[in-house]
Chain A
Amino acid sequence: MMEFVLSLVIFSPLLGAVVLLAVPGDNVAGIRRAALAFSLLPFLFSLVLWSGFDASRGDFQFVENLPWLPRFGIRYIVGVDGISLFLVLLTTFLTPLVVLSCWGDIELRVKEFFFFLLMLETGMLGAFLALDLFLFYVFWEVMLVPMYFIIGVWGGPQRIYAAVKFVLYTMAGSLLMLVAIIYLASVHAHASGLWTFDLRELYNSALGAREQLWLFTGFSLAFAIKVPLFPFHTWLPDAHVEAPTGGSVILAGVLLKLGTYGFLRFAIPLFPAALEVASPVFVALALIGIIYGAAVAMVQPDLKKLVAYSSVSHLGFVMLGLFGLNQIGIEGAIYQMLNHGLSTGALFLIVGVIYSRRHTRMIADFGGLWREVPIFAAIFMVVTLSSIGLPGLNGFVGEFLILLGAFKSSRLAAVLAVSGIILGAVYMLRMFQRVMFGPLTNPANRGLGDLSVREILVLAPVVAMIVFMGVHPRPFLKVMEPAVSSTIERLEVARRRMEPRIAVALEKRAEVAW
C-alpha cells in the first residue's frame, strides 16, 4: 500500500464525494455520517504516511511517477517531503473537524455541501503533493470551484459577490502562473530537447536572470493573491465573512497555505536569481501586511472580518520567514503555516459556534459571554493566545523562528515585525474583551448554551494540537529540517552559479540591512 499511499490520500476524498452522490438526498443523517467517515479516511491514510515517513531524508518520498500526457512529458508525479507532509496532515486533520462542525450548520443541500467539501480536499491535497507543475496547476485550479460553490451557495447575504470576487481574484493570478509554467517548461525543453514539467528537473533549468524575474513575477502573483500578501488581500475579508463556517475554516486553515507553500516549493527554488530583486520587495510587503493587517483587524466590527485581517497579518509573518531565505526562517514559516491553520481554523470554528446560536457576528452584539459559556470561553481563550503567539503554545514557536530567521537577513525587518506581536495582542485581546468580558448587556445573549459534545469534539483536537505543538515542536521541526536544508542548498548552489556581480550585490545588501 505504501507505494501508492499518496494517491490514496489524494483521491480518497474524491471517492467519498462520488459515493456521497449515491446517497439519497433526504437521508441527512446518513449523509453526515458518510461524509465524516469519508473525511476520516484520508486522515488515516495520511497518518500511515507519517508513520512511514523517513525523517532523515530531505528528498521526496513515496514518489509515484506515472506517464500521463507524453506529448509534453507531463506525468502524474506526486511525492512528499518534510515540507508538504505536515500541510497534508493539516488538511486531513482539519477536514473531518469541518465536516463535524457542519453537522449542525448546514441544513440545506447537505449532500452537495459535503460533496464540494470533499472535492476541495482532493484539490488541496493534490496541490500539496504534486511534483509535476502541470499536475500542480490542475489541482490548484480544481480547488477553486468547490470553494466557489461553498461560498456562493451556503454563504451569507453578500455571498455571490464574495464568491465571484474570490474566483476572479484567484484566477487572475493563477492564469499568469500558467503562462509562466508553460514558458518555463518550454525553455527547458529547448535547452534539453525534452519536454517535462517535472519539478525536480525544472529546478535545474538554466534561465537568465531577467527571465527568472519575469517568471518569478508570474508565479508569485498567483501565490501572493492566495496568501494573501498585502495589497492583494481584499478578496479575503469578503470571502471569509460570507463563507459558511466550514468554508472559512478550510479557506483560512488550508487554502491560504497553498500560497505560501507555492512560494516555498516553486517560486523561490525555481528562480533563485530573481530573489535578489524580489526578496526585499516581498519582505517589505510582508512587513506592511503584518502591521497593516493588525491595524485594520483592530477596527473591524465583524468577528470574521477581524479574523480575516488577522490572517493577513499572520501570513505576513510566514512570508517574512520564507523570504529571510535561511533555514531557521523557513522552518519557522512552515511551522507558522501549521499554527495559523490550527489557530485561525479554530477561531473560525469558534465564531461559527456563536454565530449558530446568535446569528450575528457583530462584536458589538456580544459582551460578557464568559459567564454564560465557560467551556467555550476557555477554548476561545487558548485559541486567542495561540493566535497572539503566547510562548508555550504553538504560535510562539513559529513566530520566534521566523523572527530569528528574518533577523539574520535584515535586522530592520525583524524590528518592524516585532511590532506585529504587539499589535497582534492589541486586536485579539480587544476583540476577546469585547466579546467575552464586561457585563452581559445584551439580553439576547442570556442563556446561551455552552458547547455541545459535538462542538467540543470539534474543538478539543485543535486545542490539543495547539498545546502540543507549543510544548513539543521537535517532532515537527525535525521532519522539516532535511527538506528545508535541501531547499536552502539549492538556493546556495544557484547563488554560487550566479554571476559574481550579483553575489557581491547580495553580500552588500546583507551588510546594509541595518
Chain B
Amino acid sequence: MAAVVFFPLAALLVILALTVVLHPDPVKSALALVGTLFLLAVFFVFLSAEVVAALQVIVYAGAIMVLFLFVIMLLNPGAERSERRGPVAGTVVGGLALVLAWQTGWLAAGGKIGAEGLRPERGYGGVFALARSLFTDFLLPFELTSVLLLVAIVGAVVLAKRRLS
C-alpha cells in the first residue's frame, strides 16, 4: 500500500474517530462512527481482507450501527447539559491515551516488525482459507458464538421488554 494513499486515509480515519469521540451530538458521533467503519473496511481491502471488509460493512456499519442510531433516537429527546469534560480531565485522559498509543503502537511494534512486514500469499484472504480456519482452528468458538448470541437475545429481551404488571 502506497504511502500517498495510506497517510491521507489514516488521517481521515483518525479525524473520524475523533469526531466519534468528541462531537457533542450523539447522532453525529454515530454517523462519524459509520464513516470510521467504512474507512476501516477500505483498509481491510488494502490488507487483502476482502471478506472481512464486506462483513465489516454489512454487519457492523449496517446492522450494529442502525441499532445504535435507533437507540439514540429513542432515548435522546432533548439537549444534554454540557457535554464535554473540563480541559484538565481532557488533557490528563488525552495524555494517558497518547501514552497508551505510544506504548502499544510504537514501543511494541518497534521490536520485531519493520516497514516490510507484509507478505501476501497466494489465495490469502480468500473465503476458502477463512472458512477452513473457521471450521478447524476455531470450530468450538464458532459453535460457542451461537450460545453467545442466544444469551444476548435472551438478555436483550429480558432487559428491554415491558415490565410485567
Are any A and B Cβ atoms less than 8 Å apart in their complex?
no
